[in-house]
Chains A and B, each alone.
Chain A
Amino acid sequence: MATENLVMKATGLVKRFGKVTALDGADFELRPGEILAVIGDNGAGKSSLIKCLSGASIPDEGHVWLDGKEIHFKTPMDARRAGIETVYQDLAVAPAMTIAENLFLGRETRRQGFLGKYLGALDKKKMLEESVARMQELKVGIRSMTQAVETLSGGQRQCVAVGRAAAFAQHVVIMDEPTAALGVKEGNMVLELIRRVRDRGLPVVLISHNMPHVFEVADRIHVARLGRRAAVLNPKKISMSDTVAVMTGAMPPESIPAECLAH
Chain B
Amino acid sequence: MDSLKGKLPPISQLGPFIALFIACVFFALTTDRFFSAENLSLILQQVMVVGVIAIGQTLIILTGGIDLSCGMVMALGSIVMTKFAADFGLPTVIAVLCGLGVTVLFGLINGLLVTTIKLPPFIVTLGTFNVAFAITQLYSQAQTVTDIPDAMTWLGNTFQLGGGAVSYGAVFMIILYVLVWLWLRETGAGRHVYAVGNNPEATRLVGIPTERVLLGVYVLAGLFYGIASLLAVARTGVGDPNAGQTENLDAITAVVLGGTSLFGGRGVILGSLAGAVVVGVLRNGLTLMGVSSVYQVLVTGILVILAVSVDQLSRKSTR
Contacts and interface: CB of A to CB of B under 8 A. Distances in A.
A–B: direct contact at CB < 8 Å: yes
Interface of A: 76-77, 80, 86, 88, 90-97, 101, 105-108, 110, 119-122, 124, 144, 147-148, 150-151
Nearest to A151: B318
A119 B203 CA distance: 22
Interface string B182-193: 000011110110
Contact of A96 (B187, B198, B207): B198
Nearest to A77: B207
Contacts of B6: 144, 147
B199 interface: yes
Contacts of A105: 191, 195, 202-203, 206, 208
Nearest to A101: B191
Interface in B196-210: 198-199, 201-203, 205-208
Contacts of A119: 187
Q: Which 9 A/B pairs are nearest by Cβ-Cβ distance?
A: A106-B206, A108-B188, A92-B202, A94-B198, A92-B205, A120-B187, A77-B207, A94-B195, A96-B198
A144 B3 CA distance: 12
A73 to B, nearest CB: 13
A121 B319 contact: no
B58 to A, nearest CB: 15
Contacts of A88: 205
B266 interface: yes
Contacts of A108: 188, 191
Interface in B205-244: 205-208
7 contacts: A86-B205, A92-B206, A94-B195, A96-B265, A106-B206, A106-B207, A108-B191
B201 A94 contact: no
B186 A121 contact: yes
Interface in B21-78: none
Given A101-B191, A122-B191, A151-B318, A95 B198 contact: yes
B133 interface: no
Contacts of A124: 186
B188 A122 contact: yes
A126 to B, nearest CB: 13
B189 to A, nearest CB: 6
A94 B188 contact: no
Nearest to A109: B188
B213 to A, nearest CB: 11
